[in-house]
Each structure stands twice: as C-alpha cells, then as structure tokens.
Amino acid sequence: MIIRLGKNIPKKTLNTTSRLLLHSAVNNRAVKQLLTNWRANAFDEKRGITPSTKHYPHNYLWDSWFIAIILSHFNEPNLAAMQIRATLGGQKPDGFIPNMRFNPQDKTRRFTPERFTFMDWSFGSDYTQPPLLAQAVWETYESYKRNGLQNEGKRFLQKAYPFAKQLYEYYWRQMSTDKREE
C-alpha cells in the first residue's frame, strides 16, 4: 500500500526509517493516521498533530505527549519535538498547561457547551492532566541520540526543561496533598 502524504506534510521531513515503517503492515495504519492528523497549529504557528481532524480538532495534552512518544519510537525526533512544543506554547505564567487548547479555525463549535464551563473559554480548558511531559521529552531526546543528533537533542532538552520545570512546580503547588515548602 502506498501512502499519499497530505499537502501540508513536506516529504523531505520523513527520514529513511519512517519511509520503511510506512511500508510495514503492522505500523502502516498508525503512521498514516498520525500523518493525516498533522496540521497547522494555529495557536502559536507551530505545527501539531491532533487526535482526530474531524472529531477532536483541538490540542490535547496526553494525546500530544503520547504522539510525541510514538514519533520518537519511529525515529522522528524533530516531529516529536514539534509536537511537544505545540503543547508548551499554551503554558500560562504560573506553569499551568490546559488539557485542551481550542483550535480557533474550528467553526463547528462542537465544544461550545463545554467551553462555557471554563474560566477562559476562548483559550482552552481550565483543567490539566497528570504529568507525562517528562517522559515525552526524554523519549524525544533518546530518539535524537539514536539518530546521531546528540547536539540537537541537548538543545531540545535545554529548551524544554524550563517549561517542564514550571509545569511540575505548578503540579506541586496546586495538586500536592503534601503542602510543605520547597
């Protein structure tokens, strides 16, 4: 089966390993779905992959971080890093990252009733999900290393670390039952 890449997916971004995976019967459908859902992320002009372009056209934390982990296992560290950056672009000054960031280009208003339960419904949800960012960042770094891109991996860690630190500090302050001072 030949996969026809969408017009938004530059073929040159796929490395040799990914091209081989595209022909694998086991991975073919998963890779095709991920690439189909790759779209412009209108929030911060970075690209991101949504869980579903039809039913879930928004940016979701766990979905995005799991997608980054999958991409890193497909030896696509640049795409995994892009996916992580798409979520980090929604971080609030206190470290909070919303579970759902709305795609303003989605005109269907599928989530309009849910939006009204959020404090800032024009932006995204006012809840987050349990931490998975550190694992996604580490898997992406490991993918850079496997591909002989140690320097790029280190640069990615240096950029992602402040965001991750701020998010985990937010979790500690807001969600810890142990309210000891740091």
pLDDT at position 94 over 60:
yes
Higher pLDDT, 58 or 14: 58
Q: Is residue 5 part of a domain?
A: no
Average pLDDT, the chain: 75
Distance set, CA 107 to CA 21, 54, 104, 156, 168 (Å): 35, 12, 7, 34, 34
State which residues form the domain around 75: 16-175
The pTM of the full predicted model, rounded to 2 decimals, is: 0.74
- Calpha distance 95→164 (Å, rounded): 8
CATH number of the domain to which 140 belongs: 1.50.10.10
Number of structural domains the chain divides into? 1
Per-residue pLDDT at 6: 44
Asked, for residue 180, whether it belongs to a domain, the answer is no
For 67-74, what is the mean pLDDT? Answer: 88
Instruction: Look at 174 and 31; give whichever has higher pLDDT.
Output: 174
For residue 62, pLDDT over 70 is answered with: yes
Q: What pLDDT score was predicted for residue 115?
A: 62
